[in-house]
Structure 1
Amino acid sequence: MKTSDFYYDLPEELIAQEPLEDRASSRLLVVEKDTGKWHHKHFRDIKEYLRNGDCLVINDTRVLPARLYGERVGTGAVMEILLLTRKDLDTWEVLVRPGKKAKPGDKISFGKGKLVAEVLEVIEGGNRIIRFTYEGVFEAILDELGEMPLPPYITHRLEDKERYQTVYAKHEGSAAAPTAGLHFTPELLKEIEGMGVKIAHVTLHVGLGTFRPVKAEDILEHEMHSEYYVVEQEQADIINQAKKNGGRIFSVGTTSTRTLESVTDENGLVQAKSGWTQIFIYPSYTFKIVDCLITNFHLPESTLIMLVSALMGKDLTMEVYAEAVKEKYRFFSFGDACLFLTKP
């Protein structure tokens, strides 16, 4: 299967640059796999498609304000750091721009010395390992000095950092938001729970690799990025019980989907565990636990549109995307949503 099979033409003006004031007012394109029909709704209408006994699985990761702008000590050159992976309390793997000016031993100052990073080593791929020094609590300083690492296709400045967080974001560690969850409000979640729908939490810290294009023409040659996940026993029990009782498993986003499919055994039981996943879901994959998917519209030729195609079939998926372009849906992180139903 070729990467180009997943291409579609997207007018630039359909890329949402800002979140809507009311999260749940975004549009929702509902697609039924068995009939091939779709319905144009609004996100709060999602309640019409959930019922007592179903289970909604959300990713409760929290995005770090991981982009820092500072100066190289000694020269004053402007430097940008993007936090990628925490190695220990004060040591991180980071992306540095411009990279040539960040050699082992160099120091970068942020916030007039509130935070100082020393480059320890250059690793494979050109990333750096750095160690921070500071006084106080690192997370508080990062919250003050850092900016949200918005995707490259968003060019507008985000005034309110919380709009790039889900309302249930809890565990810090992501370099990007699990954007399907951005449409939920506390009120909508409460209404859904009141219908008898179980809500289970998983955690997957989204890496910047989620935006990495597929460069290989044969998709099987693409190497997936690795992301850290946690599934607790209590949450696994909620999902397994719902499935056992005949409820459908609604995965909120591709991140929840990749987590669930990584921890589900061959008997269809979700296991409580933590670790790193590089799972690549593309057409011909057989889903073990996920029945329905709530997700945003994804980039052409991305691993995420391949995941949707694995669930719904490539032809139907590409038809749906063509319909969304025709109807001028808003695309990508701050855009509208889809509900893909494989079980009525």
Structure 2
Amino acid sequence: MKVKDFYYDLPEELIAQEPILDRDMSKLLVLDRNSGKTQHKIFKNVKDYLSEGDCLVLNDTRVIPARLYGEKEGTGSPIEFVLLKRVNGDVWEVILKPGRKAQIDRRFSFGGGILKAEVIDIVEQGNRLVRFEYEGIFEHILDKIGLMPLPPYITRRLDDKERYQTVYSKNKGSAAAPTAGLHFTRELLEELVDMGVNIVYVTLHVGLGTFRPVKVENITEHYMHSEFYTISDNACNVINNARLSGKKVIAVGTTSVRVLETVGDEKGRVAPGSGNTSIFIYPGYSFKVVDSIITNFHLPESTLIMLISAFAGRENVLNAYNEAIREKYRFFSFGDAMMIL
């Protein structure tokens, strides 16, 4: 299967540059993956497709202000770091620009010297391992001098950082938001609980690899980035009980899908654990755990649209995307939502 099989033409004006005022008032395109039929709703209507005993799985990761602007020690030349993941203690894997300034042993300073870093290794994809030096608490320093690492297609400034967080975000570690969850409000979640819907949380720290283009022609040759995940005993028990009772497991976002399909066995039973997953889901994959997906509209030729196509069928997905374009839906991180039944 070729990368070009997942291309669609998106007018630039449909790329959402900012979130709408009310999270749960975005548009919702509902796609029946068996028939290919669609319905047009608003996100609040998502509760009409959930029933008592169903299990809604949310990713509770929290985005860190992972973009740092600083300078090379000795020369003062500018440098940009984006933190990808903590490797161990104060050692992080980072993307940096310009890379030629960041050879091993090079040192950099941020925030007038309150944070310093030394390059200790060069790893896959040209990323660097750096060791940070500071006094105090690292997260507090990030909150002070770091910026939200918004995707490259968002060019406007985000005044309220919390709008790039889900209302249930908890565990810090992501370089990008699990954007399907941005549509939920606390009130909507409370309504679902009152309906008898079980809500559980997993954690997958989203890396910027989620935006990395697939550069090979044959998608099976794509190198998939890895991301840290964790899922608890309690979450697994609720999910397994829902499945045993014949109820649906609804994954919010491709990140939740990746966790569930990583920890699920051939019978669809999930087991607790944590680690790194590089699962790459594309058409031909047989889903073990997930019955329904709530997601956003994804970039052409991305691994995310490939995952959705594996679940709903490539033609169904591309037809639905083209319909969304005709109906002027908003696309990508701050855009509208899709629910696949």
Coarse TM-score class (shorter-chain normalised): over 0.9
Gaps of at least 5 residues in structure 1 are none
In structure 2, the partner of 1:174 is: 174
In structure 2, the partner of 1:112 is: 112
Residue identity opposite 2:12 in structure 1: E
**Distance between the aligned counterparts of 1:100 and 1:215, measured in 2?**
22
In structure 1, the partner of 2:121 is: 121
Kindly state the Cα deviation for residue 331 of structure 1 after the two structures are TM-superposed: 0.2
Which piece of structure 1 moves more, 117-126 or 13-22?
A: 117-126
In structure 1, the partner of 2:77 is: 77
Kindly state the Cα deviation for residue 103 of structure 1 after the two structures are TM-superposed: 2.6
**Distance between the aligned counterparts of 1:36 and 1:97, measured in 2?**
44
Residue identity opposite 1:246 in structure 2: G
In structure 1, the partner of 2:99 is: 99
**Distance between the aligned counterparts of 2:79 and 2:216, measured in 1?**
32
Residue identity opposite 2:298 in structure 1: H
Normalised TM-score (structure 1): 0.97
- Number of corresponding residues: 341
CA RMSD of aligned residues (A): 1.1
Kindly state the Cα deviation for residue 122 of structure 1 after the two structures are TM-superposed: 2.7
3-state secondary structure, aligned to 1:85: strand
Kindly state the Cα deviation for residue 154 of structure 1 after the two structures are TM-superposed: 0.8
Residue identity opposite 1:86 in structure 2: R
Q: Given the alignment of the two structures, is residue 19 of structure 1 paired with residue 19 of structure 2, yes or no?
A: yes
In structure 2, the partner of 1:312 is: 312
**Distance between the aligned counterparts of 1:124 and 1:265, measured in 2?**
30
**Distance between the aligned counterparts of 1:124 and 1:226, measured in 2?**
11
Partners of 2:91 and 2:131 within 8 A in 1: yes
Q: Given the alignment of the two structures, is residue 149 of structure 1 paired with residue 149 of structure 2, yes or no?
A: yes
**Distance between the aligned counterparts of 1:98 and 1:214, measured in 2?**
22
3-state secondary structure, aligned to 1:87: strand
Kindly state the Cα deviation for residue 169 of structure 1 after the two structures are TM-superposed: 0.8
Q: Deviations over 1:63-122 (max 9, x none)?
A: 111000012122111111111121222111111211111233322111111111122233
**Distance between the aligned counterparts of 2:204 and 2:154, measured in 1?**
23
Which piece of structure 1 moves more, 274-283 or 256-265?
A: 274-283
In structure 1, the partner of 2:293 is: 293
3-state secondary structure, aligned to 2:246: coil
3-state secondary structure, aligned to 2:58: strand
Partners of 2:14 and 2:330 within 8 A in 1: yes
The 1:34/1:128 distance shift into structure 2, 3 A limit, reads: closer
**Distance between the aligned counterparts of 1:100 and 1:34, measured in 2?**
50
The 5 A counterparts of 1:1-344 are 1-341=1-341
**Distance between the aligned counterparts of 1:121 and 1:224, measured in 2?**
21
**Distance between the aligned counterparts of 1:34 and 1:83, measured in 2?**
41
3-state secondary structure, aligned to 2:169: coil
Residue identity opposite 2:260 in structure 1: L
Q: Structure 1 stretches (4+) deviating beyond 6 angstroms?
A: none
**Distance between the aligned counterparts of 2:332 and 2:236, measured in 1?**
29
**Distance between the aligned counterparts of 1:210 and 1:21, measured in 2?**
26
Kindly state the Cα deviation for residue 152 of structure 1 after the two structures are TM-superposed: 0.9
